[in-house]
Amino acid sequence: MQDNLSAHPEGHRGGDSTQLNWLRAAVLGANDGIVSVAAVIVGVVGAAASVDFILTAGIAALVGGALSMAVGEYVSVSTQRDTEKALLQKERFELDNYPEQEFEELADIYQKKGLSSETAHVVARELTAKDAFAAHVDAELGIDPRDLTNPWHAAYASAASFLVGGLIPLAMVFAPENIRIVAIFAGVLIALAITGSVSAYVGGANKTTATVRNLAGGALAMLITFGVGKLFGIVGL
């Protein structure tokens, strides 16, 4: 029996869930930077061949996108953090003022998960004796009060990952004019294949499906913006 247990392959990702969330956010931020900046650049390439114009548009997209990501992430995480803090305060108030009712509520949660009434009360009693507040916020809210996300960290991480991703298509602008658009498409698709594969690994999803989906989305975005740029360049708008 022991040999069978030892041979059993562990299918879950190890490590801290917060670290996995940060890695996932960084990969998605880089992916955003790659697609967003590439879409702007190929759109301008479709309308004009001037490197100055292309670089100006690319840098503007890079900086604007990074700032937008940072602000959006800061606001989103701040709102989430404020909500979590309010829920934690409410739970502490209820524990201080209605301990019996809260104990029964905790036991009821474990009963609904499949434990018998007697076992659920034993579990609730032992958890309450150790740390009633931690037991309740974990079972009822799924929140770790010691590990609330920092909005500033989220903002920095999003901006940095966007910048790193966006630099890839921007660097392709310096390719010779006759192969510039091919270089941009090739560089972006290679980068998207990597981020798609990494995001699938982090999330435990199918790598092939995630990578193909990522490539298709990025390629479609670039084709559409290139077509729009060509159209605007032809009509002279």
Domain ranges, residue 132:
18-235
Is 2 inside a domain boundary? no
Q: How confident is the model at residue 17, as a pLDDT? A: 54
Share of the chain above pLDDT 70, in %: 87
Q: How confident is the model at residue 96, as a pLDDT? A: 87
What is the pLDDT confidence band of residue 170, given thresholds at 50, 70 and 90?
A: very high
Is 10 inside a domain boundary? no
Number of domains the chain contains: 1
Nearest Cα residue to 188 out of 156, 152, 225: 225
What is the pLDDT confidence band of residue 71, given thresholds at 50, 70 and 90?
A: very high
CA distance 67 to 71: 6
Could you read off the pLDDT of 72-122 as tens digits, one per residue? 889 988 998 899 899 899 988 988 898 889 888 888 988 888 888 889 888
Is 105 inside a domain boundary? yes
Is 95 inside a domain boundary? yes
Is 143 inside a domain boundary? yes
pTM: 0.74
Q: Which residue has the higher pLDDT, 79 or 16?
A: 79
Q: Are 187 and 166 in contact (CB under 8 A)?
A: no
Q: Rounded to 5 degrees, what angle do the CA atoms 174, 232, 181 make? A: 25
Whether pLDDT at 198 is above 80? yes
Per DSSP, helices labelled H in 98-116 are 99-112
Is 9 inside a domain boundary? no
Is 13 inside a domain boundary? no
Is 191 inside a domain boundary? yes
Q: Which residue has the higher pLDDT, 234 or 45?
A: 45
Q: How many other CB atoms are there within 10 angstroms of residue 98's CB atom?
A: 12
Q: Residue 197: exposed, middle, or buried by beta-carbon count in 10 A (0-12, 13-18, 19+)? A: middle
Q: Are 45 and 54 in contact (CB under 8 A)?
A: yes
* Least confident residue range of 123-132, 140-149, 166-175: 140-149
CA distance 139 to 93: 16
CA distance 74 to 68: 10
